[in-house]
Structure 1
Amino acid sequence: MGGLTEAKLRALAGERSFERGLAYADEVSGVEFGDGWIRASVRGTERYEVELLLGGRGKPAGTCDCPYGQEGNFCKHLVALGLTVIAQEADLPRRRKAARDRTRSLDAWLTGLSRDDLLVLVRKEMAEDRDLRRRLELRAASACGDVAGIRSRIRELLDSGPFARYGYVEYADARAYADQAGQVVSAIRSLTASGRAADAMALAREAIGTLAAVVGSVDDSDGRLGGIGAGLADAHREACRAAGPDPEELARWLVAHALDDAADLTDLDPLDYEDLLGERGRAALRRYTVEAWQANRTGWAEKHLMQRLAKSARDVDTVIAVHAVDLAPNGRTHLLIARELDTAGRTAEALEWAERGIRETADLATVDPALIDHLADRYTRIDRSADALTLRRDRFAACRTLLAYQQLRAAALAAECWPTEREKALALLRADAGPADTRGHRVLVDILLDDGDVDAAWRTAGEYGAHDGQWLTLADRSRPTRPADALAVYLRLATCLTRETGNHAYEQLVRLLLHIRDCHRRLGTPDDFTAYVTDLRAAQKRKRNLMRLMDEYGL
């Protein structure tokens, strides 16, 4: 059966899923064998249906309806089934033959039944299986063109009431509801296939609206209802292509749907219908969209639809007009407009909008950093380095962060005036950061370290304090020239880590010990390090992983 092995399962699933799958080997039940496939149920968070595809030239593959498996991954449930198959490998030929024999026997028995006997059988099964009865009722209604009957069945299928507890469908019941609701898609497609495309189109719209109203009361963590919504959207498009609806009426519905909450469910794009709309329908689509936007110029859905249509028509001015009605106070919208104009080759207007975004922002500290970067880049491209420097200087004055300082430095280096700008920036930081301003001094330490001015960073940290990460960086940078100072930092940090447990803490401690050993070597005091490690081992001897790690590094 395809030579399935644990090594192949491990390679397909990855180490983590394989190891987790080992724990599920006893949860496999209802194993069924077919020609090249094996199916089963695996109990996890809930019961999942799993199928392994074996044999042939390709490597083994599989599907599982758990959330991880639905993303296309070879999950732990597939591993569990694979391990079950491997354990039963010697019995596989017999079980496959038995499966083929059962299929042949069933076919032969059904073929031998009379029409009346088949009817009795089907009716009996329908009485015992509610889902089967619903599926057959839908098929019968479709075959007879019974639109009223189909509509009634669809409403039943989308009714979440039987699955809801206290008015809400919980996660444990959501899958069963989704399995039932999913039958609506095939019913609508069957109606289209039977020549009733106009009815299918109307029912698809109703089903989309009904499902959208239900989604909020269902725990759809696995996204199954979203998949059904997409299926309904596809079924609607298929019906439209077959029915050839009135273009204006279709345009009106598409706009109404795009502005409705149901749009999030289906992800239906009006532009996908352009070939069905024709010139008259496209004109109506634009007209209805403009009317909706004019009635609510700041509505997200209205703006998005207007921009989609305008971009499709390469109407940059309309895109800008939509943005301009609702300008964000941080300059983000100005940036979007500038980018649209740049793409259209209207660079002068783009620059004007970017500059306007800076001017109209009350506080440069709150302006979108991407707008600052965009404008500074444009200034540099058109040989306005002085303006780029002024912009970066003003930004740093308003927002004194390491990133703003680095960007100021880059602009000043390009303008060949960094030493002067650096002194001004550092003076601004020192004047602004009072004794109680811990954050300001820590930013200053980061900036001095970034500049490579380690001695000044040491002085600032020693006078005003620094966080442990900064002290560690200072020690690492200074170890060759100031081993005694670095040693004091390492010893303090190591003492803190000895109070912690876990491999991550042990790895950090060992790295510090290696640095401590290097400091003692530079200071000519190796015996002090030996005594320190001896005492440390005695105090930490119960931490076996730490002792093993220290042994690995010769500590």
Structure 2
Amino acid sequence: MDAETLADLLSAQAERDPELRHSLELRAATQSGDVSEAHRLLDTAVTDGNAEYTAKVGAVLDTLQRMLDAGSRADLAPLARRTVDDISEVLEQTGDHTGNLADRLDRAVELYARACAARPPDPEKLADWIIEVEFDGPGRPVIDLAEFAAALGEPGLRRIKSTVDDVLAANGPGHRRDVAERLREQLAEVLGDVDELVAILSAKPPRVDVSLKIVRVLRAAGRHSEAIAHAARALTHDKQPPPPEPEDETSRYRKAFDAEPGRETYAALREAATKAGKWTAQRRDALACLRARAAEGIEQADELVRVLLDDGRPDEAWRACVRFGASGELKLELAEQRAAEHPAETIPVFRAHVDELIERKDPQAYQEAARRLKLLRTLHKRAETPDEFTAYLAALVENHRRKTRLITEIRTARIAIPKAVTSPRTPR
């Protein structure tokens, strides 16, 4: 049996066996080095369970690592960055039930850093991404600036430093300040500013690990006498207990949200916590509450999706929409927004809408169904699955061939009906 025949048989069997098809998809992504295939896996992974999602992401990461190890000339940074963002969103929404997804995220960040070093992106755009992840993200991943230093260069590092300085100058407590202080320390290390780094470390509460780091920094800079003096002071330092943290001024808004979780109380909490510089932590807890409620019904799911849209996070809103089963109207609204960039994700939503329109048995609904079919044809083409549309259309026409008005509208929309179903049915 020749290879072509074997491939045809395997393809036919995969159409009948979803598990085999999934296995072949993963193998294609991990062995072909096809970046577009890796993107397609990410497009479809959102509808899978947590374990399946982890497997698909692992396949994408394998592709990235193999291509980087081989010195590929392809620009892999966009795929790597998308993978980081994708895993981060899934972790925030669903947690890490398998225990492997957090490790995948760390690996994705490492590969993104390598991809940036191989083909440096715009340094200021890279800096903006790091700033967004660190200050406005869900708390992970935690970026190590040293890994991205070469790609950031002076312009990128300067941009991050400007943001860090602004946050510290605002003198507000909370998550943003904590992040700024950590990045300030990393910047001093990356830029080789020994005096700045020693000053930062010296301002921390006295701990053995901090003192040892100061000694190492001074010795590495050739300042041995200062290193010895600091070590001596550290040994005799009288440690004081850390002062208690000030009372959270957003507690009143948090109590209101906890009493009645919803879009309005969430918005009020967001405004108060943002002013206090504590929104990231508050947001994580508030969204966890809304996600728990979203599992109770469509109304609660819609509210979560609307909250995420209000937050300016359409990708997270889409994932919540799919995971918790938002209303058909809201699904359609989001699908229309995402269709251009994520065609594979939105195809099931538009197919369901076509079914709904046909069930109305109304001439105007048939006309709208034909328009949606035309859109589906375009989406399948963008997703590089035109054969799937042909099979889908053939089955749809076969199921509804007695609805002559529908068939007429499909033809009027200039959608070619597969020949297998255009001929009259053979009398029985």
User: Which interval holds the TM-score relative to the shorter structure?
Assistant: 0.3 to 0.5
The TM-score, its normalising length taken from structure 2, stands at 0.42
The TM-score, its normalising length taken from structure 1, stands at 0.33
Q: Which protein has greater RCO, CA pairs closer than 8 Å, 6+ apart?
A: 2
More strand by share: 1
